[in-house]
Structure 1
Amino acid sequence: MLFKKLIRTMGLYRAQFISMIIMIALGVGIFVGFNMEWVSIDENTSEFFKETGFADYRISSEKGFSKEELESIKKISGVEDASRFLSVNADVKEKSGDGAALTVTENADVSGMMLISGEKYSKDDTDGVWLSDKYAAANGFKLGDSITFKYKNLEIKCKIKGLIKASEYLICVRDSSQLM
């Protein structure tokens, strides 16, 4: 009896019943979609950070650190590896108003980079630069092109030897005056 009444009520309010089913299905679908996207983003960034050796902590100094100080830091309990890291903001001569972070690390296992295309990174290379693949694509730079950086009164001309991604620069801001 109750089942017959339920069927009759569903027949009378067919449009409302179908719209409720559709709304529930859409809600569940959106929830599952957002949840899957978040899990995917979390897994991909974690893998990227692991592959590039993203530093867990950063100790800053205006004067820099000596090799002895670096060795002292490596001896701290829980520290697996450490590196001296230098980053300065320079202007790109070929693109007026553009800036780039010139970054050097002594140990590519800490805050390194992932090669997308081009030559493997060599710390002994003195005339090459490994450029962000996104920056190169947005500004028309290709492997083998020359790029000139201006830092203070110094101009540094380099050949683009590789295109990379670096976990240190997922979000790039020019300096502390620029908001994300």
Structure 2
Amino acid sequence: MSAHIREAIAALKHDTAALKLAPPAQVRARGETLRRKRVAGGVAAATVLTAVGVFAAVSATADRGTNPSPPPVGASAAVTSAAAVDCGSHEVGQSEGLPDAAITCFLDAVEARRPARLAETRPTIEGDPIRTVYVADADGAVQVTIDNRQDRFGSRGITRQTCTGPVVDHRHIGFAQCSSPKAV
């Protein structure tokens, strides 16, 4: 048995051990939280891809000495703003959480109404990467983009939703309220 499979089994045992005595309502709540996180990753990746395209277009235009065109419709002000706080891109294991410093960076920026960005890549149980990017704007709203195109057993797409009220949820970022995920 490969080390990767042993790690996945150990992580699964750890996750299920904590749930064995949990009431059904807590189990459902945890499942919903995990589902939201997976959805949020696709939304985040789409935001990053949009940002890369915007920055590339602006750079190419600036190199020619002309005025850059405005960002495409739907581009987040947080992504295109030079004053945005970058809280990093983090690869975490299945049973790992985001670094405390990254969570604090992002939540502090949202509370102060400063644009901010935070990205995480987390593997599925099978080891497929799910990328989640959180982009906060100056109004405190957070665009959550989840990219699960590499998830062999998932919906294989990119989704985005708008969330408010970010909180720490077991070394992850959770939200008080989110819109329905939309395919990007």
Normalization by structure 2: what TM-score? 0.25
When Rg is computed on C-alpha atoms for both structures, the one with the higher figure is 1
Normalization by structure 1: what TM-score? 0.26
